[in-house]
Amino acid sequence: MLIVDGLLVPTRDHTIAEQSKNQRYSTSHQVVIDARTRLVVAVGRPLPGNRNDCKAREESGAKDAVGRTTTIADGGYPGTGPVIPHRRPRGGDLTAWQAEHNPEHKQVRARVEHVFARMKTWKILRDCRLKGSGVHYAVLGIARLHNLLQAA
């Protein structure tokens, strides 16, 4: 089972970045991790930071890298394939099994957020000054370092 989510990397190169929800110029990278081992499996190509997650998953190549493997994600990927949390229907409540499933989904999906926190301990991902494809190579390098540290 894999987990996918978008990683915003603040960057100063305005040719590849756009203002994102945090009002900083950022690039969005779709990161796929293995739910069991917490190793980074794939990193999508960088897109402007204002791109929504379900669209970014298609355009970055993360969807092709995953193939037909079961993938879970947050609520930002409705109707695109990954398993997302159940939403309360308008004017109703979740069924018992849906209400029971959502906390389990949240616990598993939190692993990708922990991976992002560990990756962002590297200063280059908190304020990237690289231009062009350098941002993508920096994220790939940090993902590789994360995998090495996780496997050790």
Residues of the chain with pLDDT under 50: none
Q: 34: burial class by Cβ within 10 Å (0-12, 13-18, 19+)?
A: middle
Could you give the number of structural domains in the chain? 1
- Structural domain including 33 reads 2-151
Looking at residue 76, its pLDDT comes to 86
Helix/strand number for the chain, H first, E second: 4, 6
Q: What are phi and psi of 67, to 5 degrees?
A: 70, -135
Looking at residue 89, its pLDDT comes to 87
Looking at residue 30, its pLDDT comes to 93
